[in-house]
A and B are shown apart, each in its own frame.
Chain A
């Protein structure tokens, strides 16, 4: 999977959160297997979409890549350097190049700081420029995300959701990063405002040659913004492919069902579509099913699926799937 032009490479990444019992003497009684051995790479300048339902581990993946969570096992390479074994000071240097935009624009901005201070904070932390230069940079950033630089002394509560998300984008851009993890940046926004933020992200990507990991559950938007898409289910990747390949030649039963469940704003098409309704709910990541994790809800599951976890394999060039029966899935579910 290693390619020369990959900027970020994730190898067998694992993140388990311990479940403890007891107040004074705590002992671990289990683990939430949020991310359980995933590998992929993100190429320079591309947008990789990461989709899945709540609790599948997609946000944890994003945060673990940035070392905001310490990984339980596995490696994360950024530009060839292994982040998981790196010391604090080296990591801090690299953090300038890796930023994150959070989901909730209401919770991710400190209500007691002016937006000038919020956007300038990364510059202060990394001790970049004089006070005057920092001010100029903040004004430049505000212009970049199409907010009036006149707003610099205002507080977050004076802005709407879409404007706050632009402030989050400006903060992420402050240090001229190469790689940005967008963790559901639009899901808290209204429909008419979502398009504004997505267009802004695309425009900035072109301008500054950014690489995005775009995490979302809105598949229509992911299809719009991504170059390649990875589908996650219960801590594992089930399918990874070029976006058009994924839409026209999907192979994994979960990906097929997930895509069929996304509503299309067209009543004529909606009446003609074949919809696959999955039974039941996503199992708990603390007690994932044996074998293939999807077998409990999979409409084509066989006996082997209960025992043997299918490997994540490259079925056609660039198209990775983890399923024993991709042919059967395509024949019976499409």
Chain B
């Protein structure tokens, strides 16, 4: 068990979108904790609710169409649901920050990079322009941008994709956050640039000690980065385990199938890749069954009748499944 202080405690979080086609159930009651200094990976395919759950926590969804409900969203012991807009704004960008997938659209193209790094420094820390400029140059240096001082007056289009994402990291780190949320930050980047960014964030985390949530669909990136991994499917957490446990001893059929369907650079091809037949379910309906049941090779009649809850099956290992995949029988 992790003895570190719990800094983010999400309990039974739901997020829905009211659309013309009906209600989209994007997140359907997820519960997990993040500890101080921990690196948590959240893995899942598109539409599994991994980004929406974080946007709900940050209160960044437009309501309507979105609707967020939770028993509690505790950040350092305080429930964010009771925060006013003004209070939320103080948390966002200072204590809890986020970097997004696309560095091209998350920076403002008509403002200089320097301006955008200085903004949180002035707003949250009350720095003067001079102090902020000095600190902004330090931050750019921290994220390995050469000639940092001169680059402050550059506009985002003068930066390459990798540099833009590093500038985003600099903005996110400006106020020494307790928690940094990275939402697929390397998806738009090439593999050598991805490696640069991962090493950079790892190094900074070791130096500054903030907690990190890394959202991705890539089980490879998470393997070299996270301490603990949460696997999501159709708005549910289906597995939550320590990193070595998750890769070495996956217990949810979806996690197992996902790992088997990946080709690996370090392995010779032996046979065809294992596939997960079918498609993820539509989020417009909320059936009583387990959401993975139609695609699951271990499915039993019980899986059709009710959806399993996330339960501990070992120390630091939880799954939401009725079946013991080792025996193929109900647990």
- Measured CB to CB, the residues of A under 8 A from B are 53-54, 160, 162, 190-196, 198-199, 202-203, 217, 219-221, 223-225, 244, 247, 257-271, 273, 275, 277-278, 281-282
Contacts and interface: CB of A to CB of B under 8 A. Distances in A.
Interface centre among A225, A262, A278 (most CB of B within 10 A): A262
A334 B292 CA distance: 42
Contact of A192 (B45, B161, B264): B45
Contacts of A224: 263, 269, 273
13 contacts: A191-B217, A191-B218, A191-B262, A195-B276, A220-B265, A223-B263, A244-B268, A263-B223, A264-B266, A267-B223, A270-B223, A275-B195, A275-B199
B261 interface: yes
A263 B221 contact: yes
Interface of B: 45-46, 160-163, 190-196, 199, 217-221, 223-224, 243-244, 247-248, 257-259, 261-266, 268-269, 272-277, 279-280
Contact of B264 (A191, A199, A203, A220): A220
Contacts of A198: 263, 273
Contacts, number: 126
Q: Which of A221, A271, A277 has the most CB of B within 10 A?
A: A277
Contacts of B257: 192
Contacts of A203: 272
B269 A281 contact: no
Contacts of B269: 223-224
Contact of A277 (B195, B221, B223, B261): B195
Nearest to B219: A265
Contacts of B161: 281
Give the 4 A-B CB pairs with smallest separation, nearest first. Answer: A263-B220, A224-B263, A270-B224, A261-B195
Contact of B199 (A190, A258, A277): A277
A15 B46 CA distance: 36
B159 to A, nearest CB: 10
Nearest to A55: B190
Task: Pick from A196, A224, A268, A282 the residue with the most CB of B within 10 Å.
Answer: A224
B192 A191 contact: no
B223 A264 contact: yes
Contacts of B264: 220, 264-266
A244 B265 CA distance: 11
B261 A219 contact: no
Contacts of B217: 190-191
A281 B275 contact: no
B259 to A, nearest CB: 6
A217 B220 contact: no
A9 to B, nearest CB: 26
B263 to A, nearest CB: 4
A258 B192 contact: yes
B109 to A, nearest CB: 19
B265 A277 contact: no
A160 B280 CA distance: 10
Contacts of B224: 263-264, 267, 270-271, 273
Contacts of A260: 195
B244 A267 contact: yes
B58 to A, nearest CB: 25
A269 B220 CA distance: 11
A247 B265 contact: yes
Nearest to A263: B220
